[in-house]
Structure 1
């Protein structure tokens, strides 16, 4: 059957997380297909409030497989903080699947996001400073780091070195900040490898098989239509496609 896409029609906070939770008993997969930890869903279950930023809301529903798809940019530190917080409250997160093609937010992109916003002064966009925009820019510029790169340290190191060649020039010469060392970025990312490994899947194949088997797949958008990078109130928008059409690419 076709996938269901749940999007907001305004700037967010329309209650998408609550809607996903209400549909939980009728769906098999919930897919986060865009954005990163720059948006959030708040869900209340039996009086307990859960605030989710990177994880899809379906992770709270027993029997549902939550998926972080290829269109998402992932801050691994935030990911495991959220997982740890849920597990500490007795929730099972073992079914989480993460696309091997999803891009990672390295620490240098968070630094660049924050200092460039301050540099703009009155012309600032209002970014969250979490490295989302610079990471999507790296993806388009073909210098991004993907989840699968963590499993080959030599490839990871080459990619970090290539990215920092230009980013350190920007940090040092434009923003008067210290250069970021390759080793500190690589070590920061590699600390999550073994914990991440069992979660990494070919999520495009996973979801394709689910649809072929007539399972119900819900694609849950982050942000909302008027924050869409193409169709929103540009330039005061997010860096990804938050509309229903974006689900096709973002979910693979």
Structure 2
């Protein structure tokens, strides 16, 4: 039995929701291993849409779901999401969901700091969702974070809050903001403690037991590999590692527990927020892709930037995440185009290169080199076998495989789960 990691191979928003839902039905345990409630995905089950931003997709199917230690958790947002699902008939209980005891908490002061920086004119704008994710990770690595287990001992909490505020109030003073009282933070945490603590567990022990019992584990990431704090388009990235290797560190299981890495890959490219985007099309092609692909963020509703498929970037992600196979999504969005371009390399200062340089300045100077393929007029929407696809669509998919150095394991042709062409089941690798 294989354990599978799902990662986005671009800048996120690749259509992970549908694929993760399909895999979660086969899995016994679903683990979220990084990020916060700043990214989400939509599951469509029997015509009903469920928008998740923090909880693992397994909660919708009643599977054991785990929020790993690599996540930063806003306890109030967590409670609100549980309540939203309850209103849709999905009951989340401590029997179906466990949260790592050592998970870092997002507080209101993190959200305020995020917004202060993002709204300033000091050159710090990177396009965050202002949900406090980055500042919470800063406190984690600064060793001053409040963690879930701290809510179980309210008597010891004031000293930890004082240590946290020593940093934050000095920062706030420098930004011209009022100081925050320790009592306000204490009340914020104490008010939610009883609602979150029943879900607390030693997740690494739980997962080790599930693994030894032969259970199938699905590791579910948020965002995409190009937003990774180390391997992404820094500084226009998220504040955590989003590559597949984080599944081990962010859950407490060793890397030997990972058997298959599935990279979710959109048949074109999109990006939300600031940062380099070599193949972006700020023209009628970009408008076509955005309109046909309904390219708006699950969590924020922000319009996504759109462009041609960038094989250079995905090939790089195949390396940095050790991708075994990809799930190619939204092929149907390309229906009707006369021609389709694919970026196969870049030109940088007169030289052809086959990778995205790490330097921000070099990324901005990189010019895409395209190859042009004929499009197709027939519809691919809803196709469930290769025989249903136009010949040119098949050629496009095969060329993508060749360029990125990884096979297409699944091909998605609509948001509906059944509209999928399966070549390789990751759980049966």
Aligned to 1:124: 125
Partner Cα distance (2:183, 2:108) in 1: 12
Partner Cα distance (2:156, 2:133) in 1: 22
Aligned to 2:322: none
Q: Deviations over 1:102-129 (max 9, x none)?
A: 0001111111111122224454111111
Aligned to 1:101: 102
- The answer to which of 188-197 and 113-122 deviates more is 113-122
Partner Cα distance (1:130, 1:25) in 2: 30
Aligned pairs (5 A) from 1:37-186: 37-62=37-62, 64-94=63-93, 95-172=96-173, 174-186=174-186
Partner Cα distance (2:167, 2:98) in 1: 33
- The answer to which of 5-14 and 190-199 deviates more is 190-199
TM-score of the superposed pair, with normalisation by structure 2: 0.57
Q: Check whether the contact 2:31–2:65 (CA below 8 A) recurs between aligned residues.
A: yes
Q: Which has the higher contact order (CA 8 A, sep 6+)?
A: 1
Aligned pairs (5 A) from 1:147-226: 147-172=148-173, 174-226=174-226
Looking at CA atoms only, which structure, 1 or 2, has the larger radius of gyration?
2
The alignment partner of 1:191 has SS state of helix
| Structure with a larger share of its residues in strand | 2
CA RMSD of superposed structures (Å):
1.2
Partner Cα distance (2:242, 2:123) in 1: 27
Q: Deviations over 1:181-204 (max 9, x none)?
A: 111111111111212222111111
| Structure with a larger share of its residues in helix | 1
Structure 1: runs of 5+ lacking an equivalent: none
Partner Cα distance (1:149, 1:99) in 2: 12
Partner Cα distance (1:147, 1:130) in 2: 18
Aligned to 1:34: 34
How many Å apart are 1:3 and its aligned residue?
A: 2.5
Q: Deviations over 1:7-60 (max 9, x none)?
A: 010011111121111122210111110000110111111111111101111111
- The answer to which of 26-35 and 106-115 deviates more is 106-115
Change (3 A) 1:248 1:2: farther
Partner Cα distance (1:115, 1:96) in 2: 34
Partner Cα distance (2:4, 2:158) in 1: 39
How many Å apart are 1:166 and its aligned residue?
A: 2.2
Aligned to 1:239: 239
Partner Cα distance (2:25, 2:135) in 1: 37
Partner Cα distance (1:13, 1:139) in 2: 26
TM-score of the superposed pair, with normalisation by structure 1: 0.96
Q: Check whether the contact 2:24–2:218 (CA below 8 A) recurs between aligned residues.
A: no
Q: Deviations over 1:65-120 (max 9, x none)?
A: 11111000000111011100111111121111101010001111111111122224
The alignment partner of 2:179 has SS state of coil
Aligned to 2:345: none
Q: Check whether the contact 2:79–2:196 (CA below 8 A) recurs between aligned residues.
A: no
Structure 2: runs of 5+ lacking an equivalent: 253-429
The alignment status of 1:227 with 2:227, answered yes or no, reads yes
- The answer to which of 151-160 and 101-110 deviates more is 151-160
